[in-house]
A = this chain, B = another copy of it.
Amino acid sequence: MLINFCQTFFEITQDKFLQMSSASKALTLLTHFSTARPEIGLSQLCRIAGRDKATTYRHLQALESVGFIEQNPATKHYRLGPALMHFAQIREATVPRKEAAKSALSALADVTGETAHATVLSGTTLYGLCACESPHHGTRAVIDINIFPLHATASGHCALAFGPADLFDAAVSSLTGFTSATPTKPDELTALIETTRETGFARADQSYEAEIQGFAAPIFDHTGLLAGAVAVASVASRFTLSLEHTIKSELIIAAREISRNWGGAIPAGIEAAWAKSVKIPNELESTS
């Protein structure tokens, strides 16, 4: 998100820097490194970051002094440093993934008044990670399944839409019919996946359990690949357009937060799809 922000709103960043601390300015340099562009020279980085050479140089020196950046002695280009490995290990020990998802799910369940849950993709299997029920209503969805069928659940459609391509073969190989609405033909499934890709959300309209409306959004981890999905299961009888809007808005927030906590970020394409399918802006928590 930070990367997108910096690259997209490039002209604004100069103004932005006026109220940034020096440390933030230096650290922002790190966001320009990626697996696609792992090493950057001084002049090149100045151009990318849109900042003065002397300043950029001093920032790099500061970052190098604490091991966040190191210089390739052969090319004089800079790259991310070894200290990052060290701190990442402590971070992972401090905030394990499940723990990190819990707070987001709790908020999601609380605001929507419905049951929220998160799933994790491992190979071609989608496992339930944890669920959070809202005490708001007497009737509510109870998530007690461990393995989520790819073809019949909203989380599964997210995985199929944004995960590795080989998932589709795995899905069509067992198109079990759970309800009358379960997609049991490959074409039906393809259409649902296509809709999911267009909107950034998956919707399962009583396709796994009758009376349950499922909505899901994808989550990504540090590999940059789909790591799982976050979903809300609501009772169909009290479903409204207003609730749908709330669920979608909150799913975006939750998907962003969980991805962030897992060291990943929502790809720009999905953010764009969300922006189109949900009208309200969602930059609430940035640069607070």
Task: Identify the A interface with B (CB < 8 A).
Answer: 2, 20-28, 30-31, 33-35, 38-39, 58-59, 61-63, 65-68, 73-74, 79-95, 97-98, 100, 103, 120, 122-123, 125, 127-129, 145, 222-224, 260-265, 287
| Given known A21-B58, A24-B65, contact A88–B85 (CB-CB < 8 A) | yes
In the bound complex, residues from chain B placing their C-beta under 8 Å from that of A122 are: 66-67, 81-83, 86
User: B88, A39: Cβ atoms under 8 Å?
Assistant: no
* Number of this chain's copies in the complex: 2
User: B94, A35: Cβ atoms under 8 Å?
Assistant: yes
User: Smallest distance from the beta carbon of A72 to chain B beta carbons, Å?
Assistant: 8
User: A223, B66: Cβ atoms under 8 Å?
Assistant: no
Q: How far is the CA of A122 from the CA of B186 in the complex (A)?
A: 53
In the bound complex, residues from chain B placing their C-beta under 8 Å from that of A58 are: 21
User: A86, B265: Cβ atoms under 8 Å?
Assistant: yes
Q: List 28 A-B pairs, Cβ < 8 Å.
A: A2-B66, A2-B83, A21-B62, A22-B22, A23-B23, A23-B59, A24-B62, A27-B63, A28-B66, A35-B90, A38-B90, A38-B94, A39-B94, A67-B125, A67-B127, A80-B95, A81-B122, A82-B95, A82-B97, A82-B100, A82-B260, A83-B127, A84-B91, A86-B128, A88-B222, A88-B263, A89-B222, A89-B223
